[in-house]
Structures are given as C-alpha cells and as structure tokens.
C-alpha cells in the first residue's frame, strides 16, 4: 500500500528519531591501583561512542554524590603528556573518590573537546607553530569546545543519583549538566600545579575559556 505522511506525522517521526536514547549495557568489577570500582558500560544513539562510568560504592538514590565528568584525552590520560592537566586530574579524581568511598567518574569519549584525536594532533601541530588552543581549533574550522553533556546527564540519571558534587574547574560543564536536568549541589575545584609545558595552556583556559583556575 502506498501512502504519504502529512507534515504533522513527518515532524513527529523526526522527533521520535532524534530522541536521545542511552542504555546501560553491562556492569563489572574493576580493581585498580587506586582502589576497587565497578565499571558500567553504556550505549547511545547520539554519538555512538563507548562512554563508561567508574563507580565507587552504592550511589543509587543518593544526594551530593562526588562526581567527575572526565573528557577523554589519550595523550594525557594514557601517555602522560605534560601539555595538559588531564592525566593528573583523572588520577586525582580516582584516588579522591576511592578515599571518600562513594562517587562516580564518567569517562566521556569526547577527545579533544569533541574534535577527536587526529584533529587534536592537527591542533597541537598548529600550537607548535605558536597558536594557542582556541586559535588552533578556530584555524581548523572548529569552535573551541564542541562538547555536549546530554549523554553524560542521561548516564547519571540511569545511575540513579539525586544530586552531585562536581569535581571541575569548568563552569560550562555545570551549566551543560544543569540544562539536562542534573542537580549540582556544589562545585569542587581540582587544583593541579602547572609545569613549563602546560602553563600557557592553563592560562588560556583561564583567560579565554572561562575556567576557574
């Protein structure tokens, strides 16, 4: 049978297709050098990336759960790059949440603030030639930050937290999560000492990207 959708049905179909769906797929024990956690794997229809949650203790139904939303940084998190503060922030957050005994790290695969690893290396190459982080992104045709926090917010909803204390220096993360229905009772800063390779980067984060440093 042949039929045509009216405008109203077509619009409804489109919004149903666009609706964000995040699903919890599996949970397993994850012993680490920082302590024992559980790892939760999720899938979603927005970016198709494999975001995970690292969870200490029982967070379901709890208020003020200590939480870090960490954006993937392969260079910093894996290779110990000194160009940024990511690796140290991740280690600090894992150790701190383990100490407290209850908390969440969302490891979001938003490499390079959402431009991906290859483009971040392109940006680093421009930085080698004198540009700062923001200029390099703009030169490549990207905004300085492409991250969106809707998938992270849905992961927190699925984990069942009532409210969180967010470990961050980035006010955009706070507003991005709040816009997606997450209650943030407090912001907790992460203080990392600068080194000769990242001091300029940290200054740009403070002066151009609005980080509280």
Ligand X SMILES: Nc1nc2c(ncn2[C@@H]2O[C@H](COP(=O)(O)OP(=O)(O)OP(=O)(O)O)[C@@H](O)[C@H]2O)c(=O)[nH]1
Sequence ranges of the binding site for Zn(2+): 73, 84, 86
Chain-centre distance for alpha carbon 28:
21
Is 145 a catalytic site residue? yes
Sheet holding 164-167, edge to edge: 22-32, 35-44, 52-56, 103-108, 65-71, 164-167, 184-188
Q: Which listed range, 7-15, 18-26, 104-112, 150-158, lies at the site for ligand X (CB under 6 A)?
A: 104-112
In the chain, what's the furthest Cα-to-Cα distance?
Answer: 70
* Min CB(73)–Zn ion separation in Å: 3
128 is catalytic: no
Which one, 18 or 128, has the nearer CB to ligand X? Answer: 128
Residues that bind Zn ion (CB under 5 A): 73, 76, 84, 86
* CA quadruple 104, 169, 32, 77: dihedral, nearest 10: 130
CB atoms within 10 A of CB 86: 20
Interface with ligand X includes 113 (CB under 6 A)?
yes
Question: Using CA atoms, how far apart are residues 183 and 172, in angstroms rounded to an integer?
Answer: 14
Q: How far is the CB of 171 from ligand X (least distance, A)?
A: 9
Kindly state the DSSP code that residue 78 receives in the 8-state scheme: I
Q: Which is nearer to Zn ion, 84 or 94 (CB)?
A: 84
One of 47, 77, 147, 148 is an active-site residue; which one? 147
Residues that bind ligand X (CB under 6 A): 71-73, 84, 86, 89, 110-113, 115, 120, 123, 133, 137, 168-170, 173, 205, 211
Catalytic residues: 145, 147
């Amino acid at each position: 049978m042949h039929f045509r959708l009216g405008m109203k049905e077509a619009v409804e179909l489109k919004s149903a297709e666009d609706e964000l769906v995040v699903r919890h797929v599996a949970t397993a024990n994850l012993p680490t050098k920082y302590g024992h956690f559980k790892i939760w794997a999720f899938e979603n229809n927005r970016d198709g990336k494999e975001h995970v949650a690292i969870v200490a203790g029982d967070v379901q139904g709890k208020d003020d759960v200590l939480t870090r939303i960490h954006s993937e940084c392969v260079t910093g998190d894996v290779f110990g790059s000194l160009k940024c503060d990511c690796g140290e922030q991740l280690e600090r957050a894992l150790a701190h949440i383990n100490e407290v005994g209850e908390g969440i790290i969302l490891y979001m695969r938003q490499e390079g603030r959402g431009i991906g690893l290859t483009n971040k290396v392109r940006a680093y190459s421009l930085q080698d030639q004198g540009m700062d982080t923001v200029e390099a992104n703009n030169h490549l045709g990207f905004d300085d930050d492409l991250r969106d926090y809707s998938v992270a917010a849905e992961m927190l909803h699925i984990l069942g937290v009532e409210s969180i204390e967010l470990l961050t220096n980035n006010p955009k993360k706070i507003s991005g999560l709040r816009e997606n229905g997450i209650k943030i009772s407090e912001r907790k800063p992460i203080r990392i000492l600068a080194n000769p390779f990242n001091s300029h980067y940290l200054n740009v984060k403070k002066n151009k990207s609005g980080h509280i440093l």
